[in-house]
Amino acid sequence: MKVDTASEPSPLAATGLTRTYRGGKGVFDITLKLAAGEVMGLMGPNGSGKTTLLRMLATAATPTGGHIAWFGNANPHDPSVRRRLGVMLDQPAHFDKMTGYQNAWFFAHQFGLPDQLARDRLDELFRWSGLWDAREQVVDEYSLGMKRKLTLVEALVHRPSILLLDEPTLALDYRAELDLIERLQLLSLTGTAVVLATNDVHLAERLCDYVIFLHDGRLIREGHVPQLLTEVAGSKEVQLQVNSPIALESLRALAAVEAANVEGDTVHIILARGANPAQVLAVLNGTADMVSNMRVRRPNLGDVFLKLTGVALPAAHR
Amino acid sequence: MMVAGTIWQRELVEFAQRRRALVIKLAFPLVFGIPLVIAAPPVYAAITLTMLIAIIGALGAGAVLTRERQSGLTLRYRTLPVTPGRLLIERLSIGALIDFLQVTPVLLLIAVRHPSQFAWWPALVLSVAAVLLIGNLMGAVASTLSDSPGEVMLYVFITLLPLLFLSGVFTSLTEPALLAVSRLLPFTYLHEALVGALGGQPNLLAWETLLGGFGFLVGAAGLTGRLGRRVLESD
């Protein structure tokens, strides 16, 4: 059961949020609202604007247009706003010549934690994250995964009301990923609002209540996860690993194919409800030696994105 | 294990932990300072030491802040519940303090070598502090102009050299207009204080130099607070 925080204004509300860069790239006219305890996923391929949007929501970047309010307060420089945010940016930046514990202690104190509380929480979080044995090691010697875990520890230590996490599972091992999911589910139940920028469809399906799809800096679709998944319910995704290029147009011309795209050496095909994967193979008749592997599976959020845009989300997270 | 909860404590802890850098940083001014203070005529010693002190402040801050911008630390600062002005004041004042420690052996050497010039010591201490803080601020502003530490150093030098010239560091200024300009620059007061403390013939009186150094120190602190957002939150 989620905590009742109805008396407070929405943790996060953004209207017409825009940030443009030279060359025309950026994020354009995004409107979103996050409730207490809600987990929102920002999904899209690389360069779609997830990181820019998350940075604006985290007060790390200034919008060139639009408006954001955190608990009704629209001043991003107000320390009382920032004290309620826990942020994990894409770059796990630290003071490299200091130890992991020294780094975390510094950030804990910046958020106003007294010594004893900081010590207790850091001890618990270092144990939870698996960094306990490396706590006195300088961050320069940490692996990327360890640096990202340390950033998570620093984002969680002051128990923020809103967590903003950019690719939180990137470079984490499977065990750490499961621990993180469990922790985020628990935090959500106790009222923490969470925004995740991620391409990890399994993470998004497991954790997110609501998902926003971004493409070329624009919001192209949003909705609750079950609602989005109904759009591809009954259809199938066929993944073909190919040895050499195949004619996508002939595949797309099939009535049974809703969307098809290539990413690396893999062709992703969304088949319409009731369609038989053999129809795809029939088109490739005579070129079967090109296909080294074929996989049919139930569709996921990545397939919804593929169907909407014709662009596949990065393979590592599918 | 030393821990640091504030920005200035963190700077000190990191500085203390980098032992090799610490030794080099403290030994470097002495390499120049010892022969200058012992053997060089006051006017040449004052020129070189003024340049050295101005450069120490500006290059150090410029290089560190450029590196932090590249690594993503500056972005993280923006998410901290601290105003950018306060953050920059803490960072640069502790940077200037560490730089001050770095030049302290040279200042002590001047005092030991020229004890009769004690009237210039307060002016020297204040003007060194002012120039170090202003140098740190110049480096911080320069760090927002480029992602390359080399380019940032170039911007620092391009700005510093004409300012040092206009301060009458390289040559005596006789034009009334240039003299008036020189009074508006902090390097003038440092140079004059050094000439005085080294037993030379300064153009200003000790109390005038003291006042100038104090004014620039206060002004630099105020300006640092105002430039916080410009330096730490510019993209």
Smallest Cβ distance to A59: which of B18, B78, B83? B78
Q: What is the CATH number of the domain that holds A85?
A: 3.40.50.300
Put simply, the answer to whether B79 touches A93 (Cβ < 8 Å) is no
The CB density around residue A244, as the number of other CB atoms within 10 Å, is 9
Probe site for chain B from A20, A27, A83, A109 (most B CB atoms < 10 A): A109
Q: Please check whether residues A93 and A106 belong to one and the same domain.
A: yes
A6 in a domain, yes or no? no
Q: Please check whether residues A243 and A277 belong to one and the same domain.
A: yes
A5 in a domain, yes or no? no
Model confidence at B15: pLDDT above 90: no
A48 burial class (0-12, 13-18, 19+ CB within 10 angstroms)? buried
Q: Please check whether residues A266 and A216 belong to one and the same domain.
A: no
Q: How many domains does chain A have?
A: 2
The pLDDT tens digits for B57-109 are 898 889 889 998 999 999 999 999 998 888 899 999 999 999 999 999 999 99
Q: What is the CATH number of the domain that holds A284?
A: 3.30.70.250
The pLDDT tens digits for B112-132 are 999 999 999 999 999 999 999
Cα–Cα distance measured from residue A257 to residue A307, given in angstroms and rounded to the nearest whole number: 10
Smallest Cβ distance to A95: which of B10, B75, B82? B10
CA dihedral (A255, A256, A259, A264) in degrees, to 10, reads -120
Q: Please check whether residues A223 and A239 belong to one and the same domain.
A: no
The pLDDT tens digits for B21-52 are 888 888 888 888 899 999 999 999 999 999 99
Model confidence at A3: pLDDT above 70: no
Q: What is the predicted pLDDT for the residue at A286?
A: 63
Whole-complex ipTM: 0.82
Q: Please check whether residues A30 and A175 belong to one and the same domain.
A: yes
Q: Please check whether residues A209 and A146 belong to one and the same domain.
A: yes
Q: Please check whether residues A176 and A220 belong to one and the same domain.
A: yes
The pLDDT tens digits for A239-257 are 888 887 777 888 888 888 8
Q: Please check whether residues A59 and A162 belong to one and the same domain.
A: yes
User: Which residue reads 């690719």 in tokens?
Assistant: A167
Q: Which residues of B touch A79 (CB under 8 A)?
A: 81-83
Indicate the domain borders of chain B.
28-232
By residue range, what is the domain housing residue A25? Answer: 12-229
Q: Please check whether residues A262 and A190 belong to one and the same domain.
A: no
Nearest CA distance, A256 vs chain B (angstrom): 47
Percentage of chain A beyond pLDDT 90 is: 61
Cα–Cα distance measured from residue B40 to residue B195, given in angstroms and rounded to the nearest whole number: 12
The pLDDT tens digits for A109-141 are 999 999 999 999 999 999 999 999 999 999 999
Q: How many CB pairs under 8 A join A and B?
A: 85
The pLDDT tens digits for B143-194 are 999 888 889 999 999 999 999 999 999 988 888 999 999 999 999 999 999 9
Probe site for chain B from A25, A89, A106 (most B CB atoms < 10 A): A106
| Closest residue in B to A118 (Cα–Cα) | B5
Q: Which residues of A touch B233 (CB under 8 A)?
A: 62
| Closest residue in A to B18 (Cα–Cα) | A97
A189 in a domain, yes or no? yes
Q: What is the predicted pLDDT for the residue at A7?
A: 65
Q: What is the predicted pLDDT for the residue at A289?
A: 67
